[in-house]
Amino acid sequence: MAFTAPKETYSGKVYNVTIGTGERAASFGGENVLPFLPFEGTIPNKPLIAYEIQDVPPTDWPENVQKPFSSVSGDPVTWAKFCQDTLKAKAIALRLIGTHPDRENRSPEDAAKTVKDVLSAINVPLIILGSNNAEKDAPVLIAAAEAAKDKNCILGKAQEANYKTIAAAAMANNHKLIAMSELDINLSKQLNILITQMGFDKERLITDPMCSALGYGLEYTYSVMERIRLAALTQNDLTMQPPMLADVGMYVWKIKETQAPESDVPSWGNAEERGIAWEATTAAALLMAGAELLIMRHPKAVEAVGKLIEEL
């Protein structure tokens, strides 16, 4: 029995999304095949990794991932420049975590100023993230969107509870938008539909089906992503064709495996390498499930995932 390769052709295609402006603008998505199977279709872009920074010093990050940024993370502008110039970041994700009411409770005006300052210091694309407090994110992201007008950023995250205001702000200021729902393909689809019904162009959306860390529900994110991608390709479901985000760093660097010192759990080995491996492995698995945009923290994890992408 001679072997004939069982190739697939798909009717659907993931939207190609470009963010940023000028020479350093970056694109992701655009493929019409399952992840990294170029022999049966086209993959115009490699996945994009954005370095995560935040508006306030990362005192809440575990020691091992604070360290690489210890001399720059006191100020978001210095931090952003360090990522762009020293770490060669292709994109930066600014999380306005300091606006959370339980944290520094920074005002929307303060947040807008941070966004402006960071934008004027970098030329790579910027992703602007709220603090994931549905109520506070609405005014914060409106102010941030205005401050970044026409810079073609990604604004996020719009959730069921606040998508209207955030989507409107993204639309008015020419940004892309992350739509996040919690680990359910139907919720993802529904939110994308609701947002496009407002007149938001579906080709400017990024789907975030919610990330989970390795060992902490990764398989849920993995399978929701695979199902979304299959729906986009095999059923040509237009509502499922925006590229997908894996917001890896935030979910990985809060679990025990990335924090516990080796002295506490000798069988787990070196804590620093373990944390890096945890972030990189989580990212690698989600790449295989279909993520096109990753937000990550540790430079060594970013480097390792970059190296994997080069080999794929």
Partner 1 sequence: MALSGVEIFKLLPKTNCKKCGHPTCLAFAMKLAQRQASLDQCPDVSEEAKKILGEASAPPIRSITFGSGDRAVKIGEETVLFRHDKKFVNPCALAVEIKDTLSEGEITKKIEEVLASEIDRVGQKLRVDAIALTNASGDKGKFESAAKLIASKAPNVPVILSTTDPASAEAAVKLFAGKKPIIYGANSGNAEAMANIAKTEKAILGVVANGLDELSTLTEKIKALGVEDMVIDSGAKKAEEMLENNTMIRRAALKKNYKPFGYPVINFAQRDDSLHEALIASVGITKYASIIVVSGIEKWKNLALFTLRQNIYTDPQVPMQVEQKIYKIGEATPDSPLTITTNFSLTYFIVSGEIENSKVPCRLAVMDCEGLSVLTAWAAGKFTASKIATFIKESGIENEVKHRELIIPGYVAILSGSIEDKLEGWKVTVGPREANGLPAFLKARTA
Cβ within 8 Å of residue 288, ≥6 positions away: 35, 36, 222
Task: Please state, in angstroms and rounded to a whole number, the distance separating the CA atoms of residues 209 and 222.
Answer: 9
Binds partner 1 (CB under 8 A): choice among 112, 127, 205, 284: 284
Is 227 one of the binding residues for partner 1 (CB under 8 A)?
yes
Site for partner 1 in 51-90 (CB under 8 A): 60
Binding to partner 1 by CB under 8 A, coded x per residue (else -) over 125-144, reads -------x------------
CA angle 50, 289, 226 (to 5 degrees): 125
Is 223 one of the binding residues for partner 1 (CB under 8 A)?
yes
Estimate the share of the chain in helix, then strand, then coil, as percent rounded to the nearest 5. Answer: 45, 15, 40
- Say how many residues make up the chain: 312
Q: Nearest approach, Cβ of 61 to partner 1 (angstroms)?
A: 11
Residue 126, phi then psi, degrees to nearest 5:
-120, 135
Q: Judged by CB, which is closer to partner 1: 175, or 298?
A: 298
Is 278 one of the binding residues for partner 1 (CB under 8 A)?
yes
Q: Nearest approach, Cβ of 237 to partner 1 (angstroms)?
A: 16
As beta bridge partners, residue 93 has 52, 127
Is 12 one of the binding residues for partner 1 (CB under 8 A)?
no
Cβ within 8 Å of residue 241, ≥6 positions away: 12, 13, 14, 15, 202, 232
Is 270 one of the binding residues for partner 1 (CB under 8 A)?
yes
Q: Nearest approach, Cβ of 301 to partner 1 (angstroms)?
A: 8
Number of neighbours of residue 179 by Cβ within 10 angstroms: 30
- Residues in contact with partner 1 by CB under 8 A are 1-3, 5-6, 8, 36-39, 60, 102-103, 132, 183, 212, 214-220, 222-223, 226-227, 230, 254-257, 267-271, 273-274, 276-278, 280-281, 284-285, 288-289, 300, 304-305, 307-308, 311-312
